[in-house]
Each structure stands twice: as structure tokens, then as C-alpha cells.
């Protein structure tokens, strides 16, 4: 859940230069997550050219905004820097 939360937060904050590497994910895994968020109605306007995509024009839909509000406790502990993001994501995986 933290990966999805973080992607939505970064898109909302207009920091769409994120990638799978930031989260410790393979590119394929990251792309699957983006497609899932789009398919489930959390985000829109993903720019696709061939097999590449960009999140710069992406924006949250109402469902994505609602998800961020419903999980505000994650925002309170969200890391200040991208370097700490992998560790924060791992905490979610440790709970599984």
C-alpha cells in the first residue's frame, strides 16, 4: 500500500520524476503499479509513447485524492527525502 500511496502523493505534489528505482522495484513492476492505479481510477493522463511512459502530465482523480485522505497517517510518517523512501517502503513489505 505504501508504494501506491507514495506514487499518488508524488503525482499530487507534481514530483513525477519518480521511477521504479526510487522504490527498489524493477521497471516492469513499477509500470504494472502505474497501470493498476490508472485502471482502478486513481490517476489519469499518463503519457505513453511506445513502451515508455511519463507521469509529468498525470493527475489524481477523485478516488486518488480520497485514498490519500483516508491514509493520512502515512503522510505523517512520509520521508522527507527520496533516499529514505526505499526504507519506508520496506516497512510495508515487512508487515506482509
Structural domain boundaries in the chain: 2-88
pLDDT digits (tens, 9 = 90+) for 14-51: 987 889 988 889 999 999 999 999 999 999 999 988 88
> Taking the model in full, what pTM does it have?
0.90
Residues 6+ apart with CB under 8 A from 75: 9, 68
Q: Is 54 helix (H, G, I), strand (E, B) or coil?
A: strand
Residue 8 pLDDT > 90: yes
Do 3 and 74 contact (CB within 8 A), yes or no? no
The CATH fold assigned to 2-88 is Arc Repressor Mutant, subunit A (1.10.10)
Q: Which residue has the cell 507521469?
A: 55
Amino acid at each position: 500500500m505504501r508504494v501506491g500511496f507514495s506514487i499518488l502523493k508524488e503525482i499530487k505534489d507534481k514530483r513525477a520524476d519518480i521511477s521504479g528505482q526510487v522504490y527498489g522495484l524493477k521497471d516492469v513492476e513499477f509500470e504494472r503499479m502505474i497501470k493498476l492505479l490508472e485502471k482502478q481510477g486513481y490517476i489519469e493522463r499518463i503519457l505513453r509513447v511506445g513502451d515508455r511512459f511519463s507521469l509529468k502530465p498525470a493527475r489524481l482523480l477523485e478516488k486518488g485524492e480520497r485514498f490519500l485522505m483516508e491514509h493520512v497517517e502515512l503522510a505523517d510518517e512520509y520521508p522527507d527525502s527520496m533516499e529514505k523512501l526505499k526504507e519506508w517502503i520496506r516497512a510495508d513489505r515487512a508487515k506482509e
